[in-house]
């Protein structure tokens, strides 16, 4: 029998429940929706979570599509799922936890006696750190972004190769291999000896079926590639970037992009223009170096110095 919160399952069974992480202001319990899938035979353990940033919904869509398709009788090993991590932010469709104004994916490994976000991080990390693999589903929030997988442990980490292999098995096509900030689950997991990836399933607030489909396929690739399900996955070479060139607006106005997401960029290429309301050109921004057009703002209006887009740099494949 395995358990997560109120969900418990014997071998060959699955169950859903709630993982209590505190109380609301009226004293009612805060319970994160969770699930356990206990395979009919022994194997590895996968920890899967979504919506640690409360407005990044595509990961929730992956869980919604994936869970009904998993038959415990066909599974080897165990899967622990927390379908919505940032409970308070999800309720109000915000990125940060409104209880403590914290970005949840900067709170790991957490503190069981700390703030709301630290307590949630600690409760979920207690489960994640015991797994063999961690997949933390994200998306680009308010920016438009290619579908990618992030490896955040840093290239000198002892698990860097294991995390890269996990990212390649997930197989979005693009990998950002760049050390992340402190407090990310994709940093904390490898520090505990667990290979961890951070798939960024597209971008912009909302519910994107194509990115959700890629996320479902990615998790299924992991399940096949690491022996949870019969069969194998044919990995494909991934396009990898190890840095970003970020571009801001040199003038206020409306942005007109000259590159599309995923398009190759060469030094000197026009990346975007800024016009006034009547279409007159105010500024033209060119690329500093070569790379891939990786991320861009969603809304066209910009003020001077405001973020516009990013180009992935130092690109190779593996």
Rounded average pLDDT over 146-155: 97
Beta-ladder partners of 38: 13, 78
Q: Is 288's pLDDT higher than 90?
A: yes
Angle at 300 between CA 299 and CA 303, to 5 degrees: 100
If DSSP codes are grouped into helix, strand and coil, which group holds residue 252?
Answer: coil
Give 271-310 as a 3 state SS string.
EEEEECCCCCEEEEEECCCCEEEEEEECCCEECCCCEEEE
Question: pLDDT by residue (tens digit) across 111-122?
Answer: 999 999 999 999
**Strand 13-23 vs strand 29-38: parallel, antiparallel, or unpaired?**
antiparallel
Q: What is the pTM assigned to this prediction?
A: 0.96
Q: DSSP assignment of 50-68, as one string?
A: E-SSTT--HHHHHHHHHGG
**% of residues, the chain, pLDDT over 70:** 100
Between CA 121 and CA 71 the distance in angstroms is 29
- Asked if pLDDT for residue 139 goes beyond 90, the answer is yes
Mean pLDDT of 105-116: 97
Mean pLDDT of 38-50: 98
Q: Are 103 and 115 in contact (CB under 8 A)?
A: no
Q: Are strands 270-275 and 253-257 parallel, antiparallel or unpaired?
A: antiparallel
pLDDT beyond 90 at 58: yes
Task: Return the percentage of the chain with pLDDT > 90, whole number.
Answer: 97
């Amino acid at each position: 029998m395995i358990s997560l919160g109120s969900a418990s399952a014997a071998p060959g069974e699955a169950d859903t429940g709630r993982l209590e992480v505190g109380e609301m202001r009226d004293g009612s319990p805060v319970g994160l929706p969770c699930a356990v899938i206990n395979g009919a035979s022994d194997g590895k353990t996968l920890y899967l979570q979504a919506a640690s940033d409360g407005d990044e919904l595509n990961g929730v869509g992956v869980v919604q599509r994936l869970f009904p398709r998993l038959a415990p009788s066909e599974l080897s090993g165990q899967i622990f799922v927390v379908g919505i991590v940032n409970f308070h932010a999800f309720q109000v469709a915000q990125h940060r936890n409104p209880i403590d104004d914290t970005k949840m994916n900067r709170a790991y490994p957490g503190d069981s006696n700390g703030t709301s976000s630290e307590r949630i991080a600690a409760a979920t990390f207690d489960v994640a750190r015991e797994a063999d693999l961690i997949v933390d589903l994200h998306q680009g929030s308010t920016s438009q972004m290619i579908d990618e997988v992030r490896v955040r442990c840093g290239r000198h980490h002892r698990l860097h190769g294991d995390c890269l292999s996990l990212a390649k098995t997930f197989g979005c096509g693009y990998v950002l291999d760049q050390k992340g900030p402190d407090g990310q689950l994709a940093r904390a997991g490898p520090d505990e000896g667990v290979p961890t990836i951070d798939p960024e399933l597209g971008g912009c607030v909302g519910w994107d079926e194509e990115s959700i489909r890629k996320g479902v396929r990615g998790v299924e690739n992991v399940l096949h590639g690491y022996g949870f399900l019969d069969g194998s996955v044919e990995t494909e070479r991934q396009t990898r970037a190890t840095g970003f060139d970020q571009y801001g607006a040199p003038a206020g106005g409306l942005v007109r992009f000259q590159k599309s997401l995923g398009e190759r960029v060469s030094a000197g290429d026009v990346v975007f223009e800024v016009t006034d309301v009547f279409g007159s050109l105010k500024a033209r921004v060119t690329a500093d170096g070569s790379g891939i057009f990786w991320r861009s703002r969603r809304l066209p209006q910009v003020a001077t110095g405001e973020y516009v887009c990013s180009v992935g740099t130092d690109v190779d494949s593996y």
